[in-house]
Amino acid sequence: MAEHEREREHVKVAVIGTGFGGLGAAVRLRREGITDFVVLERAGAVGGTWRDNSYPGCACDVPSHLYSFSFAPNPEWPRTFSGQEHIWKYLEHVADTFGLRPHIRFNSEVKQMRWDNDALHWEIDTSAGSITAEVVVSATGPLSDPKVPDIEGLDGFEGKVFHSARWDHDYDLRGKRVAMIGTGASAIQIVPAIQAEVERMTLFQRTPPWVMPRADRPISGAERWLHRQLPFTTSARRGLLWGIRELQVQAFTKRPNELGLVESIAKRNMKRAIKDPALRDKLTPSYRIGCKRILLSNTYYPALAQPNVDVVASGLKEVRGNTLVASDGTETEVDAIIFGTGFHVTDMPIAERVIGADGRTLAETWTGGMNSLRGATAAGFPNWMTIIGPNTGLGNSSMILMIESQLNYMADYLRQVDVLGGRAALDARPTAVQGWNDRVQERMKRTVWNTGGCNSWYLDENGRNTTIWPGTTTEFRAATRRVDLAEYDVLRPAAQANRAGRPAEKVEADA
Ligand SMILES: Cc1cc2nc3c(=O)[nH]c(=O)nc-3n(C[C@H](O)[C@H](O)[C@H](O)COP(=O)(O)OP(=O)(O)OC[C@H]3O[C@@H](n4cnc5c(N)ncnc54)[C@H](O)[C@@H]3O)c2cc1C
């Protein structure tokens, strides 16, 4: 072992990210009695999604009592769908309450991690130094790295340009001609929040979203008092919210035609606010509701009906000076462009930075699309797991439910490695990964995400749905309750298995 390696800090577990996934993992590690871990975070504060998305109008679209940890209920949620600042504060509170801060290394961006087959550990290079870890838990987020389309002439635009997830609060939008590019979940929150202050708003819409009414209201002082005094009422509220969403899943996964009724509610939501038939035509989707994420808003359509708003039913194709040219030829002069164009989801950026046992990156092994075992581990990447990995996303419920299931899996994984004794690592068997993905893709065939007639960010460039879980959260919880050792090869250090120094040896698990 080289001298510099001996000096490198070594930990049992390195977690990456301080969003719901990373903080949740850290809490769970402590609860499992593991304190030899660090949490590496590229930013200077915790919060992930809820630190980075500070755009006007930013809020969750799953009710707060469900969009929070089951082990950290918050009786103080101010609204049924709370705003970004409250969710961010909640995550700060979680970090403090569970004593996570001493573990967190801020401003430590993971640049690369390499699996060392002899030492059976990960070598991790960060912007703040190097470290080795027996296990890596990667919680870098599915919607963490903003995606800006490659638009001809954008570099020559003289006005202001930013992405919704990197809002420039120093830029004063008042009196400006603003282009909003995209009609996803962020865009439909931003448009009504800034429409009244800008001089002119032009919305570039490639595909209209389905927008349902939003049952948002302040949570009264009496309700909050009740939740404080009788904590079971918070759990009961959460349980009800969860149960309703769980019952809806069948319509998404097995009987998309039943969603026609939901479409009629969304159409009524539009008709109430949009009186102009031509505008209504532009805003009416031509695909089955649910195929893309169903959006919730009571203010989006009323904002679009205002005289200072134009909807261009076409994507942005080119920028010429300060003029934006849409694919249908429409030209619009603007002072600022806001991209609400989403994130790198199916091309998870961290995958390019993980180098596995055979020297290839995870991205290289995923050229045919992301795949994993139970949304967590990948063949050839021993002792590496991801939170919110492939096919763990939800179309209609809280991602925190999926994260907590993955934390169960993580905890059992670490227990299994301990039980094996000595130095050991687990490597997902390719056949197990294949089997899991075949089952997921088989179930996917009937879902609204694959059959609904849309092209969404759930699908990768090959048209394969590698993001969504095609079942209930209960099914996913059951599938991730325990690690099945039959799905893994057990690796032992080469030195232990063979003093001649052959690479780590695969050993049949006893289980
Ligand atoms: C605007 C918005 C609204 C949303 N609303 C909902 C909702 O209502 N309901 C719902 O279920 N889901 C919602 N989501 C999805 C949301 O992303 C997840 O619910 C959840 O917050 C993801 O948590 P995470 O910890 O996995 O990722 P994130 O919160 O994205 O955290 C990832 C962290 O990893 C860090 N990181 C990334 N790469 C590196 C690196 N190389 N080195 C070090 N650190 C790194 C990032 O800085 C970040 O702090 C929303 C997403 C967005 C963008």
What are the tens digits of pLDDT across the range 128-145? 999 999 999 999 999 999
Q: Between residues 401 and 503, which one has the greater pLDDT?
A: 401
Residue 499: per-residue pLDDT: 37
pLDDT higher than 70, residue 508: no
Q: Are residues 305 and 404 in the same domain?
A: no
pLDDT higher than 80, residue 479: yes
Residue 165: per-residue pLDDT: 98
48: left (phi over 0), alpha (psi -120 to 50) or beta: left
Residue 348 near ligand 1, beta carbon < 6 Å:
no
> Which domain-ending residue is among 314, 339, 364?
339
Residue 16 near ligand 1, beta carbon < 6 Å:
yes
In this structure, what are the phi and psi dihedrals at residue 29, rounded to the nearest 5 degrees?
-60, -45
Q: Are residues 66 and 172 in the same domain?
A: no
Range of the domain at 111: 3-143+346-506
Q: Are residues 186 and 204 in the same domain?
A: yes
Residue 148 resides in a domain: no
pLDDT digits (tens, 9 = 90+) for 252-263: 999 999 999 999
Q: Could you tell me which of 87, 104, 86, 82 has the C-alpha nearest to residue 95?
A: 104
Q: Assign 207 a pLDDT band (cuts: 50, 70, 90).
A: very high
To test the ligand 1 pocket, which listed residue (20, 49, 341) has its Cβ within 8 A of the most ligand atoms? 49
Look up the CATH number of the domain holding residue 484. Answer: 3.50.50.60
324 sits in which H/E element: strand 323-326
Residue 141 near ligand 1, beta carbon < 6 Å:
yes
Task: Give, using CA atoms, the residue closest to atom 35 of ligand 1.
Answer: 17
* 49 CA closest ligand 1 atom index: 29
Q: Are residues 110 and 135 in the same domain?
A: yes
Residue 216 resides in a domain: no
Residue 134 resides in a domain: yes
**Could you tell me the distance, in angstroms and rounded to a whole number, from the CA of residue 140 to the centre of ligand 1?**
7
Structural domain count of the chain: 2
Residue 224 resides in a domain: no
Q: Are residues 472 and 326 in the same domain?
A: no
Q: Are residues 431 and 335 in the same domain?
A: no
**Could you tell me the distance, in angstroms and rounded to a whole number, from the CA of residue 1 to the centre of ligand 1?**
37
pLDDT higher than 50, residue 373: yes
To test the ligand 1 pocket, which listed residue (54, 77, 107, 143) has its Cβ within 8 A of the most ligand atoms? 143
Residue 342 near ligand 1, beta carbon < 6 Å:
no
Residue 109 near ligand 1, beta carbon < 6 Å:
yes
pLDDT digits (tens, 9 = 90+) for 114-124: 999 999 999 99
Task: Give, using CA atoms, the residue closest to atom 3 of ligand 1.
Answer: 60
CA dist., res. 466 & res. 231, Å (int):
38
Residue 422: per-residue pLDDT: 81
> H/E/C letters for each residue in 374-442?
CCCECCCCCCEEECCCCCCECCCCCHHHHHHHHHHHHHHHHHHHHHHCCCCEEEECHHHHHHHHHHHHH
Q: Are residues 29 and 109 in the same domain?
A: yes
Residue 184 near ligand 1, beta carbon < 6 Å:
no
Among the residue ranges 5-19, 227-241, 265-279, 294-308, the one predicted with the least confidence is 5-19
Those residues with Cβ within 8 angstroms of residue 265's Cβ, 6 or more apart along the chain or in another chain: 212, 213
Q: Report percent pLDDT > 90 for the chain.
A: 92
Stretch 356-384: mean pLDDT: 96
* 22 CA closest ligand 1 atom index: 25
Q: Are residues 451 and 470 in the same domain?
A: yes
CA dist., res. 241 & res. 255, Å (int):
21
In this structure, what are the phi and psi dihedrals at residue 214, rounded to the nearest 5 degrees?
-110, 120
Q: Assign 505 a pLDDT band (cuts: 50, 70, 90).
A: low
**Could you tell me the distance, in angstroms and rounded to a whole number, from the CA of residue 279 to the centre of ligand 1?**
34
Task: Give, using CA atoms, the residue closest to atom 6 of ligand 1.
Answer: 60
Q: Between residues 423 and 283, which one has the greater pLDDT?
A: 283
Q: Are residues 84 and 169 in the same domain?
A: no
Residue 496: per-residue pLDDT: 52
Residue 260 resides in a domain: no
> Which domain-ending residue is among 339, 370, 402?
339
pLDDT, mean over the chain: 94
CB-side neighbour CA atoms (13 Å) of 100? 31
Q: Assign 217 a pLDDT band (cuts: 50, 70, 90).
A: very high
Q: What letter would DSSP give residue 59? A: B
pLDDT digits (tens, 9 = 90+) for 49-87: 999 999 999 999 999 999 999 999 999 999 999 999 999
Q: Are residues 33 and 110 in the same domain?
A: yes
Residue 43 near ligand 1, beta carbon < 6 Å:
yes
Task: Give, using CA atoms, the residue closest to atom 27 of ligand 1.
Answer: 141
Q: Are residues 366 and 455 in the same domain?
A: yes
Residue 250 resides in a domain: no
Residue 271 resides in a domain: no
Residue 467 resides in a domain: yes
Residue 395: per-residue pLDDT: 87
Task: Give, using CA atoms, the residue closest to atom 24 of ligand 1.
Answer: 141
pLDDT higher than 90, residue 107: yes
* 19 CA closest ligand 1 atom index: 25
Q: Are residues 330 and 357 in the same domain?
A: no
pLDDT higher than 70, residue 332: yes
> Which domain-ending residue is among 312, 339, 366?
339
